Structure 1
Amino acid sequence: MNKPTLIFIINPSAGKGKSLSKDLVLSHWPNHQVIFEEAYDGRAERILNYLEQGITEFVVAGGDGTVNDIAKLLVHTNASMGIIPLGSGNGLARDLGLPTEPLEALSVVSNGTVRAIDVGYLNGKPFFCTAGVGFDALCAHDFAKKKHSRGLWNYIKIIFERYFSYTGIEARYQNGIKRYFSITFANAGQFGNNAYIAPHARVDDGLLDCAMILPHPKWRFADLGIRLISKRLNGFPYFEHLNFKDLKLEDLSDLHAHIDGEAVDLEGPTVHVKIEEKALKVII
């Protein structure tokens, strides 16, 4: 009997990936033919070719950006995806309850079950964890431009550099223009590193969360940070929240955005965000 095929995709630049030898991976799937691929630009064609061959098992070892790159190709297919978190934030993996240690995650994913989750779209681009505009998008763009290694501490440094001078972004929602510090569209509850921007968000509830932080006195910086990591942002007096399936923002004053933490530029001053329910199968 032919062994089923599994495609194991790893981001070679992820530091934690050095602990994942091919022999170690093969030991967790002894009854599979495992094909190893590296994540890089242009990989989409090969993944789509595997799907055309009828291969339905994929495992992605990388951060949220790598997960997004592969997951968007598997939406609305019969394929399922496991995640071995190797990034600095690992927002989706954490939200799914996966271990952040690669060896532990290997054991969980190789013995896991399939769960269907929702997918968000920002101007047609899929996101699985969070997307947004405002301060977080500005930091994502700064992070992408700087010549340094990826990692939590470098991101925190950018936050400190930008936070105290940032004045916000204007956007029109329904009939009124308002200034915001940040607007986050959340499928999962957190950005990553257990920073919970939408503590009540669920990846399979058929809804997206819109978490809006309003301009606030900068001396509230520590309070805001503590509330993010303690899941108490709902009590912050400069916070607004709503659930939605389809939402549009217009007349944005800044075209910077992020999708799953990766910097993107909007083509115009309008953001249209919607959900597709149970569109991606993940292994947990």
Structure 2
Amino acid sequence: MRAALLYNSAAGGATSEVELVSALERIGWTVPFRVSEEHLDPNLSEHADVVIVAGGDGTVATVAKRLARTELPMAIVPMGTVNNVARSLGLDLEPMAAIAGLAAAAKRRIDLGVLRTGSRESYFVEGFSAGFLGHVLGNKASDRHKKASRAFTLIADALETYPAHRYAVEADGRDLSGDYVLVAVMNARSLGPALALAAEAKLDDGRLDLVRIRRDEKGAIIEALRRAEKEEDLELPAFETSRVQRVRIHGLGHWAHLDDEPWELDDAVDIVTAAGAVHWLAPRQGVPNRT
């Protein structure tokens, strides 16, 4: 297997590039060259069989979106502090173990979400949310910290006084409008600092999970966040969730959140699923069912 390695040295992992290459060679792979996010070309298939992504969620999302609708697969070596995508795929979060699993990898597909607003269109891997999460990451961008406990504190503090807003929501032709503190359209299980908003979401089912959180559910979320600050464990309550293929959300006018970036959206958004848009090499322990 000829691999092009994209190694993000700024990710949270402590494993060096040399160690990763050695581990790949031990399973019989060669790494003839390295690539960067800026110079990732889908035509790499002429020279490589796979792109190895050694980084966090931001790097994984960049590569997945660049390889969408191509035949070149990606393989993920989790190196971030959160690793929402790797968690959703059931991957081993220890880099060397993740590489060892690739010795018996199988080619599979994962979905992407597609967000459209005005003339703007963007793929996403994890999810989109409008409400308190975007408010925290947008208005408090300078206070963002990669340590989960710090992020939990910021979110809990903001949620204490965050009001519900009216959102017009249409999902697969159904009117689900209401007053919510958060509306999320999830492709993966988690968003932001490993917030498992859609615990049953699957990256390979051709669907998106629409999550709505009402004002009277704020207390349970705040309690979970405060508890996690001390116990380093976060178990969110189950929220009102629908598995959908198409969602339209209107009445934003507030900060939103797409994958790992805050967005300021003032118009309606249309979100659909791009089923099976990306090929990936699934290791032994993280193989989804759909080919």
Q: 2:78 aligns with which of 85, 94, 101?
A: 85
Partner of 2:130: 133
Q: 1:76 aligns with which of 65, 69, 84?
A: 69
**1:205-240: per-residue Cα shift (whole Å, max 9, x none)?**
1211100101126543455558x944750xxxxx42
Structure 2's unaligned 5+ residue stretches are 228-232, 283-291
| 1:231–1:199 distance in 2 versus 1, CA, 3 Å | farther
Deviation at 1:190, TM superposition (A): 2.4
| 1:83–1:47 distance in 2 versus 1, CA, 3 Å | same
Q: Which moved more, 1:73-82 or 1:129-138?
A: 129-138
The AA in structure 1 aligned to 2:271 is: V
Please tell me whether residue 190 in structure 1 is matched to residue 190 in structure 2.
yes
Partner of 2:208: 208
Q: In the alignment, is the contact (CA less than 8 A) between 1:182 and 1:214 conserved in 2?
A: yes
Q: In the alignment, is the contact (CA less than 8 A) between 1:56 and 1:78 conserved in 2?
A: no
Structure 1's unaligned 5+ residue stretches are 234-238
Please tell me whether residue 152 in structure 1 is matched to residue 148 in structure 2.
yes
CA distance in 2, matches of 1:194, 1:150: 11
CA distance in 1, matches of 2:107, 2:136: 34
CA distance in 1, matches of 2:245, 2:196: 20
CA distance in 2, matches of 1:250, 1:192: 22
CA distance in 2, matches of 1:150, 1:142: 16
The AA in structure 1 aligned to 2:169 is: Y
CA distance in 1, matches of 2:43, 2:107: 19
Provide the secondary structure at the position in 2 that maps to 1:183: strand
Number of aligned pairs?
267
Q: 1:13 aligns with which of 10, 14, 20?
A: 10
CA distance in 2, matches of 1:60, 1:75: 15
The AA in structure 1 aligned to 2:69 is: H
CA distance in 1, matches of 2:281, 2:76: 8
Deviation at 1:149, TM superposition (A): 4.8
| 1:217–1:58 distance in 2 versus 1, CA, 3 Å | closer
Partner of 2:260: 261
**1:109-137: per-residue Cα shift (whole Å, max 9, x none)?**
35422211111112221112222111121
Q: How does 1:107-256 map to 2 (within 5 A)?
A: 107-123=100-116, 124-142=121-139, 144-146=141-143, 149-174=145-170, 178-191=178-191, 195-216=195-216, 218-222=218-222, 229-230=234-235, 232-233=237-238, 239-254=239-254, 256=255
Give runs of ≥4 in structure 1 deviating > 6 Å.
none
Deviation at 1:68, TM superposition (A): 0.8
The AA in structure 1 aligned to 2:157 is: E
CA distance in 2, matches of 1:142, 1:88: 22
Partner of 1:236: none
Deviation at 1:32, TM superposition (A): 1.8
Q: In the alignment, is the contact (CA less than 8 A) between 1:171 and 1:253 conserved in 2?
A: no
Q: In the alignment, is the contact (CA less than 8 A) between 2:85 and 2:125 conserved in 1?
A: yes
The AA in structure 2 aligned to 1:73 is: R
Deviation at 1:167, TM superposition (A): 1.0
| 1:270–1:157 distance in 2 versus 1, CA, 3 Å | same
Provide the secondary structure at the position in 2 that maps to 1:22: helix
CA distance in 2, matches of 1:134, 1:77: 34
Q: In the alignment, is the contact (CA less than 8 A) between 1:95 and 1:189 conserved in 2?
A: yes
Provide the secondary structure at the position in 2 that maps to 1:6: strand
Deviation at 1:243, TM superposition (A): 1.8
Q: How does 1:9-88 map to 2 (within 5 A)?
A: 9-16=6-13, 18-29=14-25, 30-39=28-37, 43=38, 46-48=39-41, 50-51=43-44, 53=46, 55-88=48-81
Identity %: 24
Q: 2:99 aligns with which of 91, 94, 106?
A: 106
CA distance in 2, matches of 1:183, 1:217: 13
Give the alignment's TM-score, normalised by structure 2. Answer: 0.81
| 1:231–1:222 distance in 2 versus 1, CA, 3 Å | closer
**CA RMSD in angstroms, aligned pairs only:** 2.7
Provide the secondary structure at the position in 1 that maps to 2:93: coil
| 1:241–1:107 distance in 2 versus 1, CA, 3 Å | same
